[in-house]
Amino acid sequence: MVFRDPYGSDVLSSGPRTLRRAPVPKRPAAPGLVVEVVEGGYVGAVTKVEKTSAGFSVWLEDRAGRVRPFPLGHGFLLDGRPVELTRPERAATPGPRAPGRTASGSIAVPEARARTAIGSRIWVEGKHDAELVERIWGDDLRIEGVVVEPLGGLDLLGDKLAEFRPDPAHRVGVLADHIVAGSKETRIAHDILARREYRGVVHIIGHPYIDIWQAVRPAVVGIAAWPDVPRGEDWKLGVLKRIGWPHADHRDAARAWATILGRVRRMADVEPALAGRVEELIDFVTVDGGPQG
């Protein structure tokens, strides 16, 4: 621990000394920024800033999807420290600037056009999987010309491959749920990869999560851990029930996923077990770095 003497280090210096309180840092209220309201302890992510008759208000969405307005300015905590929220800065006039980063951490290519889709594909099991991959790796995939498509379930993989007919110029990378010892998904993957015509042109890699929701870090959702749901109970609705979110039907699940996805901003918001596997699939389908159409 480093101790900083607020009165200065030179105890023999002459002249009066005053203790000055450090100014509260300012932070633009950018969408997705998670803050705590000092008075009342409300925690939420910024959704918007708007002008009202009394000034400017910042709207915060809590983990249950409730949205409330608060006066913009002082009275907030960021990572436990006081902060003054300010209006987000307007976009600067376009001009030369240092390259930024995509959500996956790659160097962004300003004004780059999406490349014409190459012959290879990345397949994921469902719509939510595709949306999460797009959320983080979308910029990279467009530069590479890679299309991500939902399968609708790993049970359909054999028929889809027979129809697609992969070859060295048309590879298929598959991201599968719940690839663990003894699972149905693991048996399907092994049977397909054992077929000679798919060797070297089909790559199936799985993550250990029951559902892609679990690949989002719990802290991003505002929970300590993803709850256990007994086998036989709908997993998504069971999760929502145990974390206190609306859970009447699959419309609630769809709304919950929209909230969860909206809080994912960068690769660090998902578990490494997912991030590494997606990066591996991108490498597989873009082998040699050239067009494969």
pLDDT of residue 16: 45
pLDDT of residue 238: 96
Structure tokens at 151: 């399968």
Structure tokens at 75: 């009275």
Judged by DSSP in three states, 177 sits in coil
Mind giving me the DSSP string for 104-153?
Answer: TSPBP-TTPPPPPP-S-EEEESSHHHHHHHHHHHHHHHHHHT-EEEE-SS
Specify the fold of 26-86.
SH3 type barrels. (2.30.30)
What is the length of the chain? 293
Task: Give the pLDDT confidence of 74-96 residue by residue, as tens digits.
Answer: 888 887 788 899 988 764 444 44
Closest CA to 209 of 246, 242, 235: 235
Distance CA 30, CA 87 (A): 8
pLDDT of residue 22: 61
Distance CA 240, CA 260 (A): 12
Domain ranges in the chain? 26-86, 121-216+264-289
Backbone angles phi, psi at 196, to 5 degrees: -60, -40
DSSP 183: -
pLDDT of residue 90: 60
pLDDT of residue 36: 87
Indicate if 121-216+264-289 has the same CATH topology as 26-86.
no
Core vs surface per residue 187-216: b (16+ CB within 10 A) or e: ebbeebeeeeeeeebbbbbbbebbbbbbbb
Specify the fold of 121-216+264-289.
Rossmann fold (3.40.50)
Splitting the chain (293 residues) into consecutive groups of 10 residues, what average pLDDT does each group show? 36 41 80 83 84 82 80 86 83 46 44 50 90 87 83 89 90 84 82 91 88 92 93 94 93 91 88 88 74 38
Structure tokens at 248: 């009447």
Residue 273 to residues 95, 105, 163, 214, 243, Cα–Cα distance (Å): 38, 16, 30, 11, 23
